[in-house]
Amino acid sequence: MKKVVTVCPYCASGCKINLVVDNRKIVRAEGSAGENQPGYPVSEGLLWLGLH
């Protein structure tokens, strides 16, 4: 598995997220620690829960 850094598409804040990829499929999304302001849902990966 590898991590791919990308940007959350849900608002204009541009928060970074880490996608964990295995065999070219996303298996998990994680907030990128230290990159986001406290209080943003993406900092915990919460906005990605509805995608799976």
d(CA 44, CA 23): 24
Model confidence over 3-35: pLDDT tens digits? 999 887 777 777 788 899 999 999 988 877 665
Q: CA-to-CA distance for 42 and 25, rounded, in angstroms?
A: 20
Max Cα–Cα distance, the chain, nearest Å? 33
Amino acid at 40: Y
Question: How confident is the model over 34-49, as pLDDT tens digits?
Answer: 655 555 555 555 555 5
pTM of the model: 0.59
Angle at 47 between CA 10 and CA 16, to 5 degrees: 65
Domain that includes residue 45, residue range = 2-51
- CATH number for the domain spanning 41: value is 2.20.25.90
Total domains, the chain = 1
